[in-house]
Amino acid sequence: MKRRTFLHVIGASGTAAALTGCQRGGPERLIPYLEPEADVSPGATVEYSTVCRECPAGCGMIARVRDGRAFMVRGNPDHPINRGALCMRGTASLQGLYNPDRIRQPLARDTYGRLTPISWREAEDRLDAALTALRGKRAAWIGRLETGAMDRLITSWLAAIAPGSTFLRHEPFAYEPLRAAHARVFGTAEIPQYRIDRARMLISFGADFLETWVSNVEYTRQFSEWRQARVRGDHRARYVFIAPRLSLTGANADEWVGIRPGTEGLVARALEHAVTAAHRSAAGITQAGPLAGAEGMSEIGPLADAAGIPATLVERLGREFAAGSPSLALPIGFAGSGEAAAESEAAILRLNGAAGNIGATVLRGEPHALSAASRYADLIALTGAMNAGDIGAVFLYHANPSYDLPPGAGFDGALARVPHVVSFASFPDETTGSPGETGGHASLVLPDHTDLEAWGEYSPRPDTTGIQQPVVAPLFETRLTGDVLLESARRLGHDLGPARFEDYLKSEHRLDAAAWITTLQAGGLFPGSGTAGEGSRQRAVFRSHGAAALAAGAAGSEAPKRPKGMPRPDRPTDLTRKASAAHKTSGEPPTVIGPPETTLTEQPLSGMERAAGTSVAGPGESGERSGASSPFTAAGGIGRPSPASKPPTAPPNLSTPITPSPIRAAHPTESTTGLFLHIFPSIQFFDGRMANRPWSQEIPDSTAKAVWGSWAEIHPDRARALAVRSGQVLSITTASGKVEVPALISDWVHPDVVAVMIGQGHTTFGRYASGVGANPLTLLDGRADPASGGPMVGGVPVNVARIPVTRPLAVLQTGIRQIGEDVAHGMTIREMDQLPANARGAALRDRNDHDSLYHLHYHPDRHWGMVIDLDRCVGCNACVAACYAENNVPVVGHDECARGREMSWIRIENYVGPASHEAGPPVPVESEFQTAAETRGNSMQVDVRFLPMLCQQCDNAPCEYACPVYATVHDNEGLNLMIYNRCIGTRFCSNNCPYKVRRFNWADNNFPSPLDEQLNPDVIHRTKGVMEKCTFCVQRIRAREIEADSTGHPIRDGEIATACMQACPADAIIFGNLNDKNSEVHRMTRSPRGYAALADLNTYPNVTYLARVRQT
Amino acid sequence: MSSERAASTQESQLPGRVPLHESFREITEHVIDVMQRKPGRGYWLLLLLSLVMMTLGLAAWGTQIIHGLGMTGLMHPMMWAIYIGDYIWWIGIATAGTLTSAILFLFRAPFRAAFSRAAEGMTCIAILTAGLFPLIHLGRTWRFYWVFPYPNERHLWVNFRSPLIIDVWVIATYLVLSIVYFWLELLPDAAVVRDRSTGWKRTIYGMISLGWEGTDRQWKHLLMASTLHAALLTPVIISMHSITSWDLALAIVPDWHYTIFPPYFVTGAIFSGLAMLLTLMIPIRSYFHLERVITVDRLEQLAKIIIATSLMVTYSYAVIYFMAWYRGDPIEEVGYLYQFFGGFKVLFWLFTICNCVFPLTLLFRRLRRNLVWLWILSIIINVGMLAERWCIVAAPLARDYDVYSWAPGTFHVSWVGIGITIGSLGFFLFSFLIFIKVVPIVPLYELRKDMLREAREARAETEAEGLLKARYEELRIKAIETQSGAGGSES
């Protein structure tokens, strides 16, 4: 080799090596803090408060961060919306942050139409070019619902760069019919606040308030309190679910009235008559009274007939609804928003009015932020404008209309005509496109931070503002969209305020530095946030964004922690105190609709439309905010986007004679098979934006218990008629589209309904969501409901045919009925009342050495135990997600789940009680012992027991003696320890576990980078061939014990919370020391309802269940 | 010798006797020739087949070790299925070998000699094969030695309460005892081979025979040792298979938890083991022309034991199903209904027909003595017992207390699980093929002993007859003499 060649080779290889080193820009993050910052000590966990932005509910969230990595999130205990709880979507926000499919740098279309990486400098140039090219043309902003600073920034930015632009706060679940109904009745298009906990009779017309509806954690909390009060004896209210499908929310009801889709309004009107009649008879007014002709009982029969339910049922429900005052009728959810929805919602509102619930359980004046979301019709209008070539640029901001609009809406074609589509997406999606691929519409992608890296704020209600601060440094070359907007405006010569969005946000709130720090620590501005609550004292502000000294001081102080299960000072359990507090905070006397005999007047629909808000607002056109000028004509002077925060300009006219508007064809035209489509949202996917989180896919659906796919729920009668079995593929067609999904035969749907879950069927949404399941929205024709501006979702007639393909679903629950009632106990209220006051649960039957060959374990100091109240558990899977996050539980995918190899340490088992056996069991899972049930539009008792099953930490554990190598042993604190390093994988322990809670690592489960950065550093990552199971979060117990031993501070009750307990929105899980006679867990273990699962096996579990209580 | 030869002419017609028209030398020559003869094409083909099977098994095992136990197709509630089923099946086959050899030794059963060597070899090989399965089924095979209580600086110990540990000990005990017993029985024959071979073979057989010279003292010690070992092995096989059944019966799985499991497993083991013995011996007999040694009568004796054990196994099934119904525990009932009509119905009806119905054909003497049918039936029983072991291991796990976790169907077996099962058969076949070429397949000294004993018995009979005749003659003469004497004196 010549010397020269040698030098060539050396030079080339050296350059190549250097280039490889340059490939991944940014700092090496193996040890994020080689030189720790002032308030960060390596290995110590710091907590930052922020806001969950996974849905418009806006719960307060606290991220646990160690060494610059967020490994766990929990609810902010001070935040008035969620009070420390967090649903599974909130927990899964971690997997948004560390999603391996994130867009990692700016992208632009190359000459082949592929999205290729570019530098930020180039991206800025391209953005400027696009903005300059607008030249007076209108632009459109399609973004998720924002409130406060970001909303105002977008507004003013749009006004600066393209006056007259359209600003759509696009939320697929915008509840247009509900807003329209309120606009019609009260003049303001608002989503009011409901007080489920105050209701003495609860009817939901399909609002799945435990899953996705408006603010599910908040309503789950209220519902849990409602159930607790019922068990305490404060009330004996009933909860009736009236909907075509028994959703998770319905499965928590006492009674289900299965109705055909679209008939909710008829039922509500019939009920209204029944309520009025009941009031009248209570007041001694006979049928011959002056109003008898219009409002007599005679009206009920035809309405009930039209709805297909017996009139007697309506009369009974009406009597109960009138008797239980205040009662509450919750509206129709997304699934029911169809042709008749606005009128049905109005009918439900009138029903509430007739029962005197307005102001008591339906609180107006504090509208939910969703009231400001744009309507579906606005998007359709924008599509028209885009097609007409009026729109010069479209900005996409955390919105994915190509997925969540039906193809019939023509959005894709319209967007293709727009010359510049700038996307601020964090993830590749159908609208934006995917890096390196030609799909999608974005010509320029300026990736935004995910919400855990970003500054922001969100106000779910006018008096509650959560401040969102970054909890980790940005992972990739992304930029905060707020910063991008401010910078681009400055480059184009507009001054919108501070240079960075962080300062913009701060300036919006006009707080001094100290108050700002306090606000950040508290998690936002809301009633009680000024006083230092539990969260605020132990939380630091993100160091790299300033305020180090203050944060360091704040982070050091140890606040006394309060047990989660205990009543909080700011959380009165007394309902009356709560009511008065709510009135106080609302700032205005609640509008009370007077005596029950008065009925509300309806304003004409045109007025409603105006009030409900037309978001496509050109200059001069009146905006959606009553009394306010259009947000797009002026840069400032816009209040919070809460259209109904002001009291209605005119009080509702209550004295006008009743002229009920006729319910239009509530029952759509028959399809050839007489089946109607029912598209329902689910707790894990929401509107589909959560589908790329592996936990959303892997954690089973809360009712069907299926994972990684879509299915069509179909009634057994229909299945017989179609000769279809579970797993066989059904082809569901409408004039607009077709989906092919496996059938799931279920008694939990009305026979006239085929129900498909929304949220799956993505084509471009990362590796976890793409190609999984089907999107039922493609079956819709895309029309907007003229009455409300909402999408036409419910009651679409469909053709269903069996196609000769079998695609078995991965269903994790096999049997729905227990053998011998040993696992999930239930009792009626009457039975509960008859329990002797000194009854002790079966869990506490005397233990003695004679029951076992071996001596009982002795727990001298502490004896950890858990109580799970089945009456509070709603089966929402929040605990499951929290467990996945806390304990590094791997995700294994569809095929493994189909073999029962899912790794979840805690699961919700759905069992159907004997009460519904007789009435016809709702059976979501087809098993070989299934029998069909007749529901046929009649009511049936619902007795579904949701049982969180986790390791019972038995004191006489069958798994322990089975292990040949002592890999699972008992400790002196009652914990059943699992020593992964000692396990050789005989799997005998799993065979011998009657609860079947041990999970085996069938393979090495890896976490694709950067998902591995979410792993909890306190918990080992298990390898193949090793058994694992719930540990009662032993890492948390030990951490606190070590602290207690070193500092001498004794462990107080409730100080140690397992991840599942911390997340639970219903407070169903209580953990603590059974040896402490004053502990909550000790007290609750002694509840008369307490029992041990499979107690006769003599396993002495340390988990005590409290039986579920049903009405009858 | 001449007396033996004379006796054989009449004794050879008696059933169940070794034909004694041959000399010791002829027998020895014949058996040693079977061993030392150059193997034919069939042997090589079988050897190749066994190697292919073993390779498949090793590939499957390697895949399983590298990619984790998920490759086997096992699923959650049925944590044990095919491997533990295979394990119990192989252990059962070993049991029958010991039974044939040791128990029949103690009872001095006359037909034992023909099978004992093959049975002992089968025992040793089967138990080695069986011993592989607890290793194969481990999640972390490379840590298998943790089940032994070896001293270590971290004071880690094993859990003697675990049925698996008891199992480890009993298998180890059984393996050691079986090998020692096999060796003891081999000593005189190894010496015979030693004496007839030269070169390195002579050295090796010399080492194996432990300097056997055939002195009275050695014979005395050998007999004592054999008797003691046979006496020791007999309870060990009972306890061993009982303990294997404890792996299931000591668990709280509803359909495993039966007190009848130990005797049921032992009878099942004998049943399947004798079937395997027939599967092996019938081809060997015809291939090596051992018809003169392994007679149809002796095979018929085995067939009779098979009928008996089949009936016992059927009785055990009946008792278990009856108890499941009679106890009224719904979970037990659901479990067995699931076996009968649910996900396990194929396996269940397969093993029921194979184990309970087909063996009844042996009640007919004609079929019992039809070696082709006997061989086919032995295969049927082997298949049936394997199916039964898989079923009783996996099916109860499919229907447990926790209804949520019930298995949605039968257990799945991937190519890895099947491959390892085939590989174990290959290992067994390979080892047995080697075995019949290095060890006299029929125990020579036992055979000689039998021949001697029978000859002695025959002679004794002859002698007794002679004595009787003589005595009669004597008495008759005496009587005549007396008569004549009296008459003479009178005359």
**Crossing angle of helices B82-98/B261-287, nearest 10°?**
70
Pick from B326, B198, B405, B400: which is nearest to A910 by CA?
Answer: B405
Question: How far lies A722's CA from each of A41, A799, A920, in Å?
Answer: 64, 11, 21
Are A1070 and A828 in contact by the 8 Å Cβ rule? The answer is no
Nearest by CB to residue B165, choosing from A964, A992, A999, is A964
Nearest by CB to residue B161, choosing from A812, A961, A986, is A961
pLDDT higher than threshold 90 for residue A827: no
Nearest C-alpha of chain A: how many angstroms from B132?
14
List the beta bridge partners of residue A686: A682
Q: In sequence order, which ranges of A782-904 are alpha helices (DSSP H)?
A: 829-834, 878-886, 894-898
Reading the block at residue A622, the tokens are 């009146």
How far is residue A255's CA from residue A914's CA, in Å, rounded to a whole number?
A: 14
State whether B404 and A907 contact (CB < 8 Å): yes
Q: State the DSSP H helix or E strand holding residue A987, giving kind and residue range, or none if neither.
A: none
Residues A122-141, mean pLDDT to the nearest whole number: 89
Greatest mean pLDDT among A359-363, A614-618, A632-636, A869-873 lies in A869-873
Reading the block at residue A439, the tokens are 């799909």
Residues of chain B with C-beta less than 8 angstroms from the C-beta of A893: none
Reading the block at residue A910, the tokens are 């759905």
The pLDDT value given to residue B61: 93
How far is residue A862's CA from residue A1056's CA, in Å, rounded to a whole number?
A: 13
Q: Is A237 on the interface with B (CB under 8 A)?
A: no
pLDDT higher than threshold 50 for residue A225: yes
Q: In sequence order, which ranges of B250-364 are alpha helices (DSSP H)?
A: 261-287, 296-327, 330-341, 345-352
Residues 1043-1102 of A with CB under 8 A from B: 1094, 1097
Residues of chain A with C-beta less than 8 angstroms from the C-beta of B147: 964-965, 984
Q: How confident is the model at residue A704 (pLDDT cuts 50, 70, 90)?
A: confident
State whether B140 and A1025 contact (CB < 8 Å): yes
Residues of chain A with C-beta less than 8 angstroms from the C-beta of B77: 900, 996
* Nearest residue in chain A measured CA to CA from B63: A1003
pLDDT higher than threshold 50 for residue A733: yes
* Nearest residue in chain A measured CA to CA from B333: A819
Residues of chain B with C-beta less than 8 angstroms from the C-beta of A818: 403
The average confidence (pLDDT) of chain A is 79
State whether A999 and B76 contact (CB < 8 Å): yes
Size of interface A-B (CB pairs under 8 A): 167
Pick from A390, A345, A330, A339: which is nearest to A138 by CA?
Answer: A390
Nearest C-alpha of chain B: how many angstroms from A905?
13
Instruction: Identify the CATH assignment for B18-475 out of 3.30.70.20, 3.40.50.620, 3.10.20.30, 1.20.1630.10.
Output: 1.20.1630.10
What value of ipTM does the predicted structure carry?
Answer: 0.86
Q: Is A1025 on the interface with B (CB under 8 A)?
A: yes
Residue where the block lists tokens 């892997």: A698
Q: Is A1019 on the interface with B (CB under 8 A)?
A: no
Pick from A68, A610, B453, A1079: which is nearest to A1104 by CA?
Answer: A1079
- Which tens digit of pLDDT belongs to each residue from A974-992? 999 999 999 999 999 999 9
Residues of chain B with C-beta less than 8 angstroms from the C-beta of A966: 156-159
- Which tens digit of pLDDT belongs to each residue from A368-385? 999 989 999 999 999 999
How far is residue A988's CA from residue A725's CA, in Å, rounded to a whole number?
A: 35
State whether A984 and B138 contact (CB < 8 Å): yes
Nearest by CB to residue B138, choosing from A899, A985, A992, is A985
- Angle A772-A773-A775 from CA coordinates, rounded to 5°: 115
The pLDDT value given to residue A612: 36
Residue A478 zone, left/alpha/beta (φ > 0; ψ -120 to 50; rest): beta
Pick from A762, A106, A691: which is nearest to A423 by CA?
Answer: A106
pLDDT higher than threshold 80 for residue A524: yes
State whether A1025 and B68 contact (CB < 8 Å): yes
Residues of chain A with C-beta less than 8 angstroms from the C-beta of B80: 987-988, 991
Nearest by CB to residue A1004, choosing from B68, B75, B405, is B68
Reading the block at residue A503, the tokens are 């300062």
Determine the length of chain A: 1112
Report the 10 Å Cβ neighbour count for A598. 16
Buried b (16+ CB within 10 A) or exposed e, A783-815: bbbebbbbbbbbbbbbebeeeeeeeebbbbbbb
* Nearest residue in chain A measured CA to CA from B332: A819
Q: How confident is the model at residue A517 (pLDDT cuts 50, 70, 90)?
A: confident
What is residue B425's three-state secondary structure?
Answer: helix
State whether B75 and A1004 contact (CB < 8 Å): no
State whether A1026 and B139 contact (CB < 8 Å): yes
How far is residue A857's CA from residue A864's CA, in Å, rounded to a whole number?
A: 13
DSSP letter at B353?
I
Q: Is A1026 on the interface with B (CB under 8 A)?
A: yes
The amino acid present at A1060, given as its one-letter code, is C
What is residue B393's three-state secondary structure?
Answer: helix
pLDDT higher than threshold 50 for residue A345: yes
How far is residue A311's CA from residue A271's CA, in Å, rounded to a whole number?
A: 10
Residues of chain B with C-beta less than 8 angstroms from the C-beta of A822: 401
Nearest by CB to residue B403, choosing from A814, A986, A1024, is A814
Q: Which residues of chain B have pLDDT under 50?
A: 1-20, 487-491
Report the 10 Å Cβ neighbour count for B410. 21
The pLDDT value given to residue A18: 56
pLDDT higher than threshold 90 for residue A906: yes
Q: State the DSSP H helix or E strand holding residue A944, giving kind and residue range, or none if neither.
A: strand A944-949
Residues A746-761, mean pLDDT to the nearest whole number: 88
Nearest by CB to residue B140, choosing from A902, A958, A985, is A985
Q: Is A980 on the interface with B (CB under 8 A)?
A: no
* Nearest residue in chain B measured CA to CA from A965: B158
Residue where the block lists tokens 């949605």: B408
A88 or A530, higher pLDDT: A88
What is residue A614's three-state secondary structure?
Answer: coil
Nearest C-alpha of chain B: how many angstroms from A993?
8
Pick from A1069, A2, A17: which is nearest to A563 by CA?
Answer: A1069
Nearest by CB to residue A995, choosing from B143, B161, B402, is B402
* Nearest residue in chain B measured CA to CA from A925: B404
State the best of B65, B76, B248, B345 to mutate against chain A, taking most chain A CBs within 10 Å.
Answer: B76
Burial class (CB in 10 A: 0-12, 13-18, 19+), B57: buried
- Which tens digit of pLDDT belongs to each residue from B405-440? 888 777 788 899 999 999 999 999 999 999 988 888
DSSP letter at A770?
B
- Angle A369-A374-A375 from CA coordinates, rounded to 5°: 120
Torsion angle, CA of A87/A90/A91/A92, rounded to 10 degrees?
A: 120
A626 or A1053, higher pLDDT: A1053
Residue where the block lists tokens 């009248």: A280
What is residue A912's three-state secondary structure?
Answer: strand
Nearest by CB to residue B402, choosing from A961, A983, A996, is A996
What is residue A855's three-state secondary structure?
Answer: coil
List the beta bridge partners of residue A539: A47
Residues A622-645, mean pLDDT to the nearest whole number: 34
Report the 10 Å Cβ neighbour count for B122. 28
Residues of chain A with C-beta less than 8 angstroms from the C-beta of B143: 984
Nearest by CB to residue A984, choosing from B73, B139, B253, is B139
Query: What radius of gyration do chain A's Cα atoms show?
Result: 29
Residues A212-223, mean pLDDT to the nearest whole number: 92
Name residues whose C-beta falls within 8 Å of residue A746's C-beta, 6 or more positions apart in sequence: A704, A713, A714, A715, A716, A922, A923, A924, A925, A926
Is the previous residue joined to A474 through a cis bond, with omega within 30 degrees of 0? Answer: no
- Which tens digit of pLDDT belongs to each residue from A656-699? 333 334 343 334 443 456 788 999 999 989 988 989 999 999 99
Pick from A483, A538, A527: which is nearest to A505 by CA?
Answer: A483
Nearest by CB to residue A963, choosing from B73, B76, B162, is B162
Q: How confident is the model at residue A866 (pLDDT cuts 50, 70, 90)?
A: very high
What is residue A466's three-state secondary structure?
Answer: strand
A386 or A548, higher pLDDT: A386
Nearest C-alpha of chain B: how many angstroms from A86?
26
Question: How far lies A278's CA from each of A77, A322, A572, in Å?
Answer: 42, 6, 33
Residues A159-187, mean pLDDT to the nearest whole number: 89
pLDDT higher than threshold 80 for residue A489: yes
A1099 or A930, higher pLDDT: A1099
- Which tens digit of pLDDT belongs to each residue from A806-820? 888 888 888 888 877
How far is residue B438's CA from residue B190's CA, in Å, rounded to a whole number?
A: 10
Q: How confident is the model at residue A756 (pLDDT cuts 50, 70, 90)?
A: very high
State whether B79 and A987 contact (CB < 8 Å): yes
The amino acid present at A230, given as its one-letter code, is R
Nearest C-alpha of chain A: how many angstroms from B416?
14
How far is residue A407's CA from residue A492's CA, in Å, rounded to a whole number?
A: 36
Are A707 and A812 in contact by the 8 Å Cβ rule? The answer is yes
Q: How confident is the model at residue A938 (pLDDT cuts 50, 70, 90)?
A: low
State whether B76 and A900 contact (CB < 8 Å): yes
- Which tens digit of pLDDT belongs to each residue from A940-953? 788 889 999 999 99
A26 or A720, higher pLDDT: A720
Reading the block at residue A887, the tokens are 């304990």
